[in-house]
Structure 1
Amino acid sequence: MDTMRERFISVTSRLLDEDPRLAVVLAEISMDGFLPARQRHPDRVINVGIREQLLVGVGGGLALTGMRPVVHTFASFLVERPFEQVKLDFGHQGAGGVLVSASASYDWPAGGFTHMAPGDVALLDTLDGWTVHVPGHPDEAEALLRHAYAAGDDKVYVRLSQQSNTAPRPVRDLRFQTVREGRAGVVLAVGPLLDNVLAATEGLDLTVLYAPTVRPFDDAALREAAGRGGNADVVLVEPYLAGTSTTAANDALAQVPHRVLGLGVGRAELRRYGTLDEHTAAHGLDPHSLRERITGFLRPPAR
């Protein structure tokens, strides 16, 4: 199976042939994959070099000319390093575009902390009007990328990861999906952590929701799931900074008694490179750790 990043390159290269409004802006990362597309469309595949502020600025400028820019690099270099340009060149200017990241929170541990971005979604939450997609499988990534490219002049962030669920799920309406139904609480799994959540909650009387799109937050789906069994306690399992969506969940359930536990990547820096799986376990996001943390909070009865 190809990775989400490989799928991004292939589907975007095809769509460059079909949509003259689409333009890709790169900062060296993934440039090799886009070389054939650049040969066909040298004016719409632009490599600015290792200049991430310029990367976002060029994307914003293309948007102001009527193009649909696709701006791509590692998450830490796309959202964190040029955040002022994201805020001003897209948000303040009222311009739309698609930011497509790679490497997620800790996908390339050998790259060190400079290449990790667990706070990217939380940072974008300080801005208005961004749609945020967190696909859990390459097929979902393709569907969400196609949706983002066709989304008029909206501001969209697509967060790609090396981690992937075994099988894709449909993402047609961008709403949270009910994967399992239960009565003792709700667990909301985001993107590539769905498989771990399903393994962690096997045999427990819990509703499992799946979110490949986290912004806008699907208030109605969470309220419906929380009201289904009479227990409005919710655990959020997100592949980025723990607690990123707790405010959104609390707002959605403001009219009913509830508790929310936010699980995700911790704030403490892990200074050993290790492997992706070792980082997942260290942050308590592997199935065994998740089961302990979820049951410790909800204490549901076994079926």
Structure 2
Amino acid sequence: MDTMRDRFAPVVSRLLDEDPRVAVVLAAIGTDSFAAAARRHPDRVINVGIREQLLIGAGAGLALTGLRPVLHTFASFLVERPFEQVKLDLGHQDVGAVLVSAAASFDWPAGGYTHMAPGDVALLDTLDGWTVHVPGHPDEAETLLRHAVAADDDKVYVRLSAQANARALPVDGQRTHTVREGRRGVVVAVGPMLDAVLAATEGLDVTVLYAATVRPFDAAALRRAAEGAAADVVLVEPYLAGTSTAAANDALADVPHRVLGLGVGRRELRRYGTLSEHVSAHGLDPRSLRERITGFLTGGRVAAHG
């Protein structure tokens, strides 16, 4: 199976051909994949080099002229390093862009901590008006990329990952899907966490929801699920643990409930290791998830990871 990032350049290259408003801005990363598109559209495929602040600033400038810019690099260089430009050049000037990241939280461990960004979605949460897509399969990534580019002048973040579920679900850029129904709690799996959550909850009497779009948070779907189950909610996210707990609490503000946020821990893991080793170290493998979910739902102690 190809990866989400394998889909990125072909999809956006086709959009460049189809829509004269679309432009692509790169910061050295991914330039080879857009070489053919750059020959066809030299004025709308721009490489600013290793200058991530300029990446955002140039994208904002293109948006001010009426173009729909797609900006791409690793998540740590797209959200964290140029965050002031994301806040001011896009947010303060009230213009939109599509930010498409790679490497997710720790997809390339050999790159070290400079190439890891578990706090990217939490950081964007400090700003107003962002849509955040977290696809769990390359087919979903393709659909959500098209949604993002077509979203007029909205500010959209598309978080691509090397991790993926075995099959795609129909995603529309808005709604959360009910994958399994139960009565003893609700587990929300975000993006590439779905397969691990389904394995971890096999045989448990819980509702499993799937979210490939996390901002805006689908509060209505969570409320519906909580009506038919105990209002105990577990969020399993592929980035910083607890990123969406406030959104879940707000959704259930008038309902007695408990929320557990599982995801990447705050403690830095200083050995590079492999992607799967990082998943296990943060307690996001099926065995660890099952232990932590059942512990929470039965009122026991939940083991901390990371």
Same fold by TM (over 0.5)? yes
Match of 1:218 in 2: 218
- Measured in 1, the distance between the counterparts of 2:292 and 2:169 equals 26
Aligned residues: 299
- Measured in 1, the distance between the counterparts of 2:162 and 2:173 equals 24
- Measured in 2, the distance between the counterparts of 1:110 and 1:32 equals 21
Match of 2:294 in 1: 295
Match of 2:260 in 1: 261
- Measured in 1, the distance between the counterparts of 2:105 and 2:271 equals 15
- Measured in 1, the distance between the counterparts of 2:30 and 2:166 equals 25
Q: What letter is aligned with 1:37? A: A
Match of 1:94 in 2: 94
Q: What letter is aligned with 2:246? A: T
TM-fit CA distance, 1:37: 0.5
Match of 2:149 in 1: 149
Q: Is the 8 A contact 2:68 2:96 kept in 1?
A: yes
Q: What letter is aligned with 1:8? A: F
Q: Aligned-residue CA RMSD in angstroms?
A: 0.8
Q: Is the 8 A contact 2:56 2:86 kept in 1?
A: yes
TM-fit CA distance, 1:173: 5.4
Match of 1:283 in 2: 282
Q: What letter is aligned with 2:239? A: Y
**Unmatched runs of 5 consecutive residues or more in structure 1:** none
Match of 2:183 in 1: 183
Q: What letter is aligned with 1:160? A: L
Q: Secondary structure at the match of 1:210?
A: strand
Match of 1:271 in 2: 270
Residues 153-184 of structure 1: CA deviation (Å, up to 9, x unaligned): 10000000000000000002521100000000
TM-score (norm 1): 0.98
Segments of 4+ moved more than 3 angstroms:
none
Match of 1:124 in 2: 124
Residues 20-79 of structure 1: CA deviation (Å, up to 9, x unaligned): 000000001111111111011111000000000000000000000000000000000000
Q: What letter is aligned with 2:138? A: P
Q: Is the 8 A contact 2:135 2:191 kept in 1?
A: yes
Match of 1:33 in 2: 33
Q: State, as a whole percentage, how many aligned pairs show the same letter.
A: 80
- Measured in 2, the distance between the counterparts of 1:36 and 1:189 equals 37
Q: What letter is aligned with 1:66? A: G
TM-fit CA distance, 1:299: 2.5
Q: Secondary structure at the match of 2:107?
A: coil
TM-score (norm 2): 0.97
Q: Secondary structure at the match of 1:33?
A: helix
- Measured in 1, the distance between the counterparts of 2:14 and 2:65 equals 22
- Measured in 2, the distance between the counterparts of 1:293 and 1:172 equals 31
Match of 2:76 in 1: 76
- Measured in 2, the distance between the counterparts of 1:30 and 1:289 equals 35
Residues 84-121 of structure 1: CA deviation (Å, up to 9, x unaligned): 00000000000011000000000000000000000000
- Measured in 2, the distance between the counterparts of 1:139 and 1:122 equals 25
Q: What letter is aligned with 2:280? A: A
- Measured in 2, the distance between the counterparts of 1:173 and 1:24 equals 21
TM-fit CA distance, 1:2: 1.1
Q: Is the 8 A contact 2:97 2:155 kept in 1?
A: yes
TM-fit CA distance, 1:228: 1.0
